[in-house]
C-alpha cells in the first residue's frame, strides 16, 4: 500500500514537472528560442489565478485555469511580436536568448512592483484536504486533479500538433522553415501562435503550483531550472519526452524525500547530472 501511494505521489509531481517543462520544449523545439522568461510566465500564471480567486472567490477552477491561460497567452504573443520576433531575425540564437533574459528581468520587477514580494498561495478551500477512496486506498483529490489536468494538457497538445492543420504547419516550420515559407505558411503568425501556446501552458503549470504551495515573484528562476532539466532529459521539442522526463524527476524527488527528508531537489539534480554524463560517454547528448 505504501508503494502504491509513493507511486501516486511521484506521478502527480512528475505530471506537474512535465507541465513546467513542456512550454519551454515548444519554444525551443519550434521557435529555436531558449526562452529565459518561461519561469516568469509560470509565476505570472500563478498570480493571475490568485488575483481571480481574490476578486471572485466562487469562481470555478475551470474558469481560473482558462483565465490564466488566456492572460499569459496574450502576454506571450505581445512578447513575441514586440521583441522576440525581431531578435530571431538576427539568426543568432544568443540574441533571442538575451532578449528573453531582459524580458524576464522586466516581468519579475513589474510583478514585484504590482503585487509585492510576499509569498502568495491559491485558496482552494476544502479541495486541498479532500480525499477519494479506491479499493481501500485513500488518495488526495488535489494531486489526482493535478495529474488529470497534466495528462489532459499533454493529450490535447499532442492532438493539436499531430492531428490538425496548425500542427502540420508547426512541424513543417520546425523541420524546414525556408521551404515552409515558400509553401505559403505565414511564419510570423505561426510563431505568435506557438508563443501563445507556450505561455498558456506555462500559466497552467503556475496555477497547479500555486494550488500546492506558495509562490513569490522570485520563484521563476527555480521553475526555469526544472523546465531546463525536463527539456534536456526529454529531448529538444519532444512532447512525450517532456512528460517522461517530468515523471522521472517527480518520482526521484518523492522517493528521495522518503529516505532523506532534508534532500529537497538534491537528488533530482543529481539524476539530471548523471544522465547527462552517461549521454556524454555514449555520445548521445539528446
SS3 letters across the chain:
CHHHHHHHHHHHHHHHHHHHHHHHHHHHHHHCCCCCCHHHHHHHHHHHHHHHHHHCCCCCHHHHHHHHHHHHHHHHHHHHHHHHHHHHCCCCHHHHHHHHHHHHHHHHHHHHHHHCCCCECCCCHHHHCCEEEECCEEEEHHHHHHHHHHHHHHHHHHHHHHHCHHHHHHHHHHHCHHHHHHCCCCHHHHHHHHHHHHHHHHHHHHHHHHHHCCECCCCHHHHHHHHHHHHHHHCCCCHHHHHHHHHHHHHHHHHHHHHCCCCCCHHHHHHHHHHHHHHHHHCCCC
- Dist CA 180 CA 42 (whole Å): 31
Contact 226, 15 (CB under 8 A): no
pLDDT at site 285: 56
Contact 204, 18 (CB under 8 A): no
pLDDT at site 251: 92
Q: Could you tell me the pTM of the whole model? A: 0.92
Contact 32, 173 (CB under 8 A): no
Q: Rounded to whole angstroms, what are the CA distances from 237 to 26, 39, 136?
A: 6, 17, 40
CA dihedral 69, 71, 77, 80 (to 10 degrees): -100
Closest CA to 237 of 166, 181, 127, 161: 161
pLDDT at site 91: 79
Q: Domain locations in the chain?
A: 2-282
Which of the residues in the chain have pLDDT under 50? none
pLDDT at site 171: 86
Task: Report the first-to-last Cα separation within the chain, whole angstroms.
Answer: 36
Nearest-5° Cα angle at 128, 127 to 131: 75
pLDDT at site 240: 86
- Dist CA 196 CA 218 (whole Å): 22
- β-strand partners of 1: none
What class has domain 2-282?
mainly alpha
pLDDT at site 235: 83
Phi, psi of 137 (to 5 degrees): -100, 120
Amino acid at each position: 500500500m505504501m508503494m502504491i501511494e509513493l507511486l501516486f505521489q511521484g506521478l502527480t509531481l512528475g505530471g506537474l514537472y512535465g507541465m513546467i517543462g513542456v512550454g519551454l520544449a515548444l519554444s525551443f523545439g519550434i521557435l529555436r528560442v531558449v526562452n529565459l522568461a518561461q519561469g516568469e510566465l509560470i509565476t505570472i500564471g500563478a498570480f493571475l489565478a490568485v488575483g481571480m480567486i481574490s476578486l471572485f472567490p466562487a469562481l470555478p477552477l475551470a474558469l481560473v485555469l482558462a483565465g490564466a491561460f488566456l492572460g499569459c497567452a496574450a502576454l506571450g504573443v505581445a512578447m513575441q511580436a514586440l521583441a522576440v520576433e525581431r531578435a530571431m531575425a538576427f539568426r543568432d540564437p544568443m540574441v533571442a536568448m538575451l532578449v528573453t533574459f531582459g524580458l524576464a528581468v522586466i516581468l519579475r520587477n513589474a510583478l514585484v512592483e504590482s503585487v509585492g514580494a510576499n509569498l502568495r498561495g491559491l485558496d482552494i478551500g476544502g479541495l486541498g484536504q479532500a480525499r477519494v477512496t479506491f479499493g481501500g486506498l485513500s488518495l488526495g483529490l488535489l494531486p489526482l486533479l493535478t495529474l488529470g489536468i497534466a495528462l489532459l494538457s499533454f493529450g490535447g497538445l499532442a492532438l493539436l500538433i499531430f492531428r490538425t492543420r496548425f500542427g502540420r504547419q508547426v512541424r513543417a516550420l520546425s523541420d524546414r522553415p525556408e521551404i515552409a515559407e515558400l509553401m505559403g505558411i505565414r511564419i510570423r503568425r505561426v510563431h505568435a501562435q506557438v508563443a501563445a501556446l507556450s505561455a498558456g501552458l506555462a500559466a497552467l503549470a503556475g496555477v497547479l503550483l500555486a494550488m500546492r504551495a506558495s509562490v513569490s515573484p522570485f520563484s521563476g528562476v527555480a521553475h526555469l531550472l526544472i523546465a531546463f532539466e525536463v527539456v534536456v532529459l526529454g529531448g529538444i521539442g519532444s512532447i512525450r519526452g517532456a512528460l517522461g522526463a517530468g515523471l522521472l524527476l517527480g518520482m526521484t524527488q518523492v522517493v528521495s524525500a522518503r529516505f532523506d527528508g532534508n534532500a529537497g531537489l538534491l537528488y533530482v539534480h543529481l539524476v539530471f547530472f548523471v544522465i547527462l554524463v552517461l549521454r556524454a560517454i555514449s555520445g548521445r547528448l539528446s
